[in-house]
Structures are given as C-alpha cells and as structure tokens.
Structure 1
Amino acid sequence: MTQTAAQLTPSAQDAICEALTQSVAETAVTTMLAQNFHWNVTGMAFGALHDMFQTIYEDHFTAQDALAERVKALGGHAEGRLSEMLKRSKVAEHDGHASAEDMVAAMAKAQDTLAATLAGTAAVAEEHGDLLTQDMAIARGQTHEKFAWLLRAHLG
C-alpha cells in the first residue's frame, strides 16, 4: 500500500530515515571528494576534469540537501556532523595527492558506491510503501551511475 510520510508507521519511518541517513553521509563525503579533486587535479585533461569535478560537487551538494530534507519530512534527525558522516560512509576521504587518472578512478568508485547505497534506500522505501522516497532514491542512483560512466570514459 502506498503511503505518505504522515501515514508511515514509526518503525517504517525509522528504517527509511536510517537508509536515507546513509545516503546523505556518502553524498556529503563524495561532495567533498569531488571538491578536493576539483582543487587539486593537474595534467593534460585539467580543464575537462576540473569542470567535471565541479559539476559533480555542485550536483551532490544540492542532492544531500534534498535527501536530508526527506529525512526531516519523515520525522527523523538530519545528521549534520562531518565526523559522523565520515564514520558512516563507505566512501573514503582522499588527500588529493594523486594523478588525474587515480582521481577519476576514485571518483568513479565513489559514484558506484553511491548508486548501490541509493538502490538499497529505494528498496527499503519500497518495502514500506514509501514511493516518494523510493522515486527520489532511484533518480539519485541513476544520476550516480551516469557520473560513474562519464568518469570511466576518461579512463579509456
């Protein structure tokens, strides 16, 4: 049965918020990863990669806000501490000292991780009849799969 946020049981809200919180954490870490690479990329493909990393971090910044606001709409607490996001995230920080190729590979891996996390979030939302969260998670997952594909295209 399809339900709105207000119609979900407290346990359904908790489960969906937990999945969304994981998605927010990984999105936030990947946002900073993209900004780090944007600042530090060098080499022959500097212009294209500098622009691509900026496109990614701008997209992700907007996405993390939308995901966190969905947590709030479901009655949850939107975790805003970077330390907690880093603890949760399956995406790791990077010091930014790497070749452009290694940066692209790391960002593609981060995008794949985000796509998988969001697919899991969609599944939890579907299980509880929350089609609005499910739709949001599916759309975000598709965006991350596209970024992963665009990044891998740079690797040949």
Structure 2
Amino acid sequence: MTQPATDLSPSAREAIVEALNQSVAETAVTTMLAQNFHWNVTGMAFGPLHALFQEIYEDHFVAQDDLAERIKALDGHADGMLSGMLKRSKVSEHDGHADDKTMVAAMQAAQETLAATLAAAGALAAEHGDTLTEDLAIARGQTHEKFAWMLRAHLR
C-alpha cells in the first residue's frame, strides 16, 4: 500500500533519507569523475568517450537534484557538503591521469556501485510502503545499469 511521505514513521523516514543521501553522495562523486574523464580522455576512442562521459555527467547532475528533492519531500536534510559526500561515497575520486580503458573501467565500476546503492534504497522504500522513493530509485538504478552496460561494451 502506498503511503504519503508524511505517513511514514520517523524511523522509516530517517532510514530512507539516509539511503537517499548515500545515493546523492555517490551520484555527486560519479558526476565529477565523469567530468574529469571527459576533460582528460585521450586516444583513438577520444570522440565517443568524450561524448559518453559528458552524457553521464549531465545525466547525473540532474539526478543529484531529483534525489535531493525527494529527501526534502521526506522532510529530511540533503547533505550537500562535498567533504561529507566524499567520506560517505563508495565511489572514489580519480585524478584523471589514466588511459582510456582505465577510465572506462573506473566509470563502469562507479555505475555498478550506484545501481546497487539505488537498488538497496528502492528495496528499503518498498519495505516501508514509500512507492514514490522506490520508483525514483528503480528508474535511477536502471539508468546506471544501462551506463554500466555501455561502458562494458567499450572494454570487449
């Protein structure tokens, strides 16, 4: 049964907000990772990878806002501090000094991490009847799985 955000118990709301803040943190770090790779990619695959990394960071920039706005709809605090995001994120920064295959592999791993984080957030939301958060998490998870597939295809 669907519950409005206002009908969630305080503990359910807190757990869902925490899962969403984890998602925001990893999305933000991956956004910058993609932008860094976009700026620094070289090699024979420069054109398509430059474009793909741009597609990823543009998608993720919008996603950060969607996730943060859901946090606010749940009456939570969206943690927007970069230092906090870096500490919380399971995705790591990269200095951008790498060959194109290393960049693609790092971005693929980041996408898979994001997909898993969002799957967990969606499952938590479903457990508490928060179908709106569940739907957002599913949609975002599908996007990250698609990006992971596209990146894997570059490595074969």
TM-score, scaled to structure 2: 0.99
Aligned to 1:139: 139
Report SS of the residue matched to 2:109. helix
Aligned to 2:50: 50
Report SS of the residue matched to 1:98. coil
Aligned to 1:148: 148
Listed one character per residue, the Cα deviations across residues 22-74 of structure 1 (whole Å, up to 9, x for unaligned) are: 00000000000000000000000001000000000000000010000000000
Aligned to 2:35: 35
Mapping 1:47-86, distance limit 5 Å: 47-86=47-86
Q: What is the letter of the counterpart of residue 112 of structure 1?
A: E
The number of aligned residues is 156
> 1-side partners of 2:80 and 2:139: how far apart?
23
> 1-side partners of 2:72 and 2:45: how far apart?
40
TM-superposed deviation, 1:10: 1.2
Aligned: 1:7 with 2:7: yes
Q: What is the letter of the counterpart of residue 104 of structure 1?
A: V
> 2-side partners of 1:155 and 1:106: how far apart?
11
Give the percent of matched residue pairs that are identical in Structure 1 and Structure 2. Answer: 76
Mapping 1:97-136, distance limit 5 Å: 97-136=97-136
- List 4+ stretches of structure 1 deviating above 6 A: none
Q: What is the letter of the counterpart of residue 86 of structure 2?
A: L
Q: What is the letter of the counterpart of residue 136 of structure 1?
A: L
> 2-side partners of 1:127 and 1:46: how far apart?
44
Q: Which runs of 5+ in 1 are unaligned?
A: none
Aligned to 1:89: 89
